[in-house]
A and B are shown apart, each in its own frame.
Chain A
Amino acid sequence: MSAAGARIGVITFPGSLDDGDARRAVRRAGASDVALWHGDADLHGVDAVIVPGGFSYGDYLRCGAIAKFAPVMTEVVRAADRGMPVLGVCNGFQVLCEAGLLPGVLTRNSGLHYVCRDQWLRVENNTSTWTTRYEAGADLLVPIKHGEGRYVAEEPVLDRLEGEGRVLFRYVEDNPNGSRRDIAGITDERGRVAGLMPHPEHAIDPLTGPTDDGLGMFLSALDSLVAA
Chain B
Amino acid sequence: MTESTHESAAHDSTAPSGTEQVDSVEHAARTPELAQPYRELGLADDEYERIREILGRRPTEAELAMYSVMWSEHCSYKSSKTHLKYFGETTTEEMRSKMLAGIGENAGVVDIGDGWAVTFKVESHNHPSYVEPYQGAATGVGGIVRDIMAMGARPVAVADPLRFGPAEAEDTRRVLPGVVEGIGGYGNCLGLPNIGGEVVFDESYARNPLVNAMCVGVLKSDELQLAHATGAGNKVVLFGARTGLDGIGGVSVLASETFSGDETGSGRKKLPSVQVGDPFTEKVLIECCLELYGSDLVVGVQDLGGAGLSCATSELAAAGDGGMRIDLDTVPLRAEGMNPAEILSSESQERMCAIVRPEDVESFMAVCRKWDVTATVIGEVTEDDRLRIDWRGECVVDVPPRTVADEGPVYQRPVRRPAEQDLITADDPNTLARPGTADELRETLLRMAASPNLCSREWVTGQYDHYVRGNTVLAQPSDGGVLRVDEETGRGIAVATDCNARYTRLDPYEGARLALAEAYRNVAVTGSKPVAVTNCLNFGSAEDPAVMWQFQQSVRGLADAAAELGVPVTGGNVSFYNQTGSSPILPTPVAGVLGVIDDVTKRIPTGIGAASGESLLLLGETREEFGGSEWSRVAHDHLGGTPPRVDLERERLLADVLGIGSRDGLISAAHDLSEGGLAQALVEMSLIGETGARIVLPEEADPFVWLFSESAGRVLVSVPRGAELKFTELCAARGLPCSKTGVVDTESGALEIQGIGEIPLSELREAWEGTLPRLFG
Contact = CB atoms under 8 A, between A and B. Distances in A.
Interface of A: 14-15, 17-18, 20-21, 24, 54-55, 57-60, 113-117, 143, 145, 147, 199, 201-202, 207-209
Contacts of B484: 207-208
B192 to A, nearest CB: 9
Contact of A115 (B191, B462, B466): B462
A14 B284 contact: yes
Interface in B184-211: 184-185, 188-191
B421 interface: no
Contacts of A202: 467, 470
Nearest to B463: A114
B600 interface: yes
Interface of B: 181, 184-185, 188-191, 278-281, 283-284, 287, 371-372, 461-473, 484, 600-601
Contacts of B371: 14
A209 B467 contact: yes
A208 B471 contact: yes
Contact of B470 (A21, A57, A116, A117): A21
A60 B279 CA distance: 11
Contacts of B189: 15, 17, 55, 58-59
A143 B283 CA distance: 22
B467 A114 contact: no
A58 B191 CA distance: 12
Contacts of B468: 17-18, 21, 145
A116 B463 contact: yes
Contacts of A58: 189, 278-281
Interface centre among B181, B283, B371, by most chain A C-beta atoms within 10 angstroms, is B283
Contacts of B465: 114, 116, 145
B404 to A, nearest CB: 35
A24 B468 CA distance: 12
Given A116-B462, A117-B462, A208-B472, A55 B283 contact: yes
Given A113-B463, A116-B463, A208-B484, A17 B191 contact: yes
Contact of B280 (A60, A117, A199, A207): A60
Contacts, number: 81
Contacts of A199: 467
Interface centre among B279, B461, B469, B472, by most chain A C-beta atoms within 10 angstroms, is B469
Contacts of B190: 17
Contacts of A209: 467, 470
7 contacts: A15-B189, A21-B470, A55-B280, A58-B189, A60-B280, A202-B467, A208-B471
A59 B462 CA distance: 21
B462 A15 contact: no
B280 A20 contact: no
Contact of B188 (A14, A117, A143, A145): A145
A201 B470 CA distance: 8
B600 A207 contact: yes
Given A54-B191, A116-B463, 19 more contacts: A14-B284, A14-B371, A17-B190, A18-B468, A18-B470, A21-B468, A55-B189, A55-B283, A58-B281, A113-B181, A114-B184, A114-B185, A116-B462, A116-B466, A116-B467, A199-B467, A202-B467, A207-B484, A207-B601
Nearest to B373: A14
B462 A208 contact: no
Contacts of A116: 188, 461-467
B280 A145 contact: no
Contacts of A18: 191, 468, 470
A38 to B, nearest CB: 11
Contacts of B184: 114
Nearest to A18: B468
Contact of B283 (A15, A21, A207): A15
A15 B279 CA distance: 9
* Interchain residue pairs A-B with the least CB separation, the first 8: A58-B280, A17-B191, A21-B470, A202-B467, A145-B465, A55-B189, A143-B467, A114-B463
A117 B461 CA distance: 9
A20 B469 CA distance: 7
B469 A21 contact: yes
A64 to B, nearest CB: 14
Interface centre among A21, A143, A207, by most chain B C-beta atoms within 10 angstroms, is A207
A59 B281 CA distance: 12
Interface centre among A15, A59, A209, by most chain B C-beta atoms within 10 angstroms, is A15
Contacts of B470: 18, 20-21, 24, 201-202, 208-209
